[in-house]
Amino acid sequence: MHRVSLVAAFGGVLLLTGCKPAPSPDLAASVNGRPINYAELDKQYQIQFSNPATPPNEDQVQSQKLELLKSMIDAEIMLQRAEKLGLMAVEADVDTKLNEMKAPYTQEEFQKQLANQKMTVDDLKSQLRRELSIQKLLNKEITSNITISDADVREFYNANKGRFNLPEPQIHMAQILVTPFADSNVRNLKNSKAQNDQEAVKKIQMIEARLRKGEDFSMLAQNFTEDPNTVSSGGDLGFIPESSLEKASPELRKLILSIQPGQHSGVIKTAEGYRIFKVFSREPAGQRELNDPRVQQEIRETLVSRKDQLFKAAYFEVARNETKVENFLAVKIAAAMAQKGK
């Protein structure tokens, strides 16, 4: 019964599309008549799904390509809107962003990074141009128009006072972690991974030496930390309750409490590997008041983020409604499924 209804559903799709001329076999989708070719889709697929831990089967490949194509269609919709409004990124924008990305690497390291992702510099510049254009569009159309009043902040604070009441002291801290185990999930900017204990010791000592010379903790964390959960935030662990440190290790709590705000520890050996901690600040227990600038900032950032997500979601939907989209890959998959069901 379920199989019949599935075939009928796909059959209905095919009836709606069957009277149209057959698209070019090279065409995966069309957005307002602008093509997205299979060659382009396959190239993006190779970039995003290269070297999987477990090779996907054909159904999984098609599912991944369908999701990827949907994101490419969405991006094309936004790009056409940016183009219409004269908000496309210029070459200088692209070059500036490219130079920022290249800054942590030598030329050889950067080329290796591109090769690992099966990309050329032109591929990267094209990707950056699309991303920066969409960012420019959304900033102009949405983010720059969001306003948060003092009344909004006060209302949020009064409705969420418990959020700003700290039941115990907390420490805002960060870490750089180096482990002696091979791990394919490490994604720091230098693509740096110790393979054994000897390499781990050498690497953490190098990082500590650079910290002593005054190099930025956050940048070193982005370049070298082997913690996948904090690499993008420069090792930032957020605010940690003191009791959590006590549960993890009384010795560790004592050591962290000895670090002055703005300072970092030496190398600490733990079960997971070697760590260097930095303490940014300490928050005492108690109610944080509305006139605290940090409370104001946190509330405004929360409210802006909420409105930004809501308005962007609505903006995307309105843009889709105003766009003629044809997804030929989806039709092709539906046709194959209907054929199997006969």
Q: Which residues have CB under 8 Å from 93's CB, separation 6+?
A: 129, 132, 136
CA-nearest of 175, 189, 288, 202 to 232 is 189
Q: Is 207 within 8 Å of 276 (Cβ atoms)?
A: yes
Give the span between the Cα atoms of 195 and 179, in whole angstroms.
8
Angstrom distances, CA of residue 57 to CA of 48, 52, 68, 262: 16, 12, 16, 50
Q: Is 279 within 8 Å of 169 (Cβ atoms)?
A: no
Q: Is 342 within 8 Å of 7 (Cβ atoms)?
A: yes
Taking only the tens of pLDDT, the chain with its 342 residues reads 444 444 444 455 454 455 566 678 899 999 999 999 999 999 999 888 877 778 899 999 999 999 999 999 999 999 999 999 999 999 999 999 999 888 777 888 889 888 888 889 999 999 999 999 999 999 999 999 999 999 999 999 999 999 999 999 999 999 999 999 877 677 787 878 898 999 999 999 999 999 999 999 999 999 999 999 999 899 999 999 999 988 888 888 999 999 999 999 999 999 999 999 999 999 999 999 999 999 999 999 999 999 999 999 999 999 999 999 999 999 999 988 877 765
Neighbours of 223 (CB within 10 A): 21
Give the span between the Cα atoms of 72 and 134, in whole angstroms.
12
Question: In this structure, which topology does domain 168-284 adopt according to CATH?
Answer: Chitinase A; domain 3 (3.10.50)
Give residue limits of the domains in the chain: 1-69+326-342, 168-284
Neighbours of 103 (CB within 10 A): 10
Q: Cβ-count burial of 137 within 10 angstroms (0-12 exposed, 13-18 middle, 19+ buried)?
A: buried
Query: Where do the H-state alpha helices sit in 142-216?
Result: 150-159, 197-212
pTM above 0.75, yes or no: no
214 DSSP 8-state letter:
T
Q: For residue 191, is it left (φ>0), alpha (ψ between -120 and 50) or beta?
A: left
Give the span between the Cα atoms of 159 and 88, in whole angstroms.
41
Give the span between the Cα atoms of 57 and 146, in whole angstroms.
45
Beta strands in 182-329 (DSSP E): 236-241, 268-269, 274-283, 286-287, 325-327
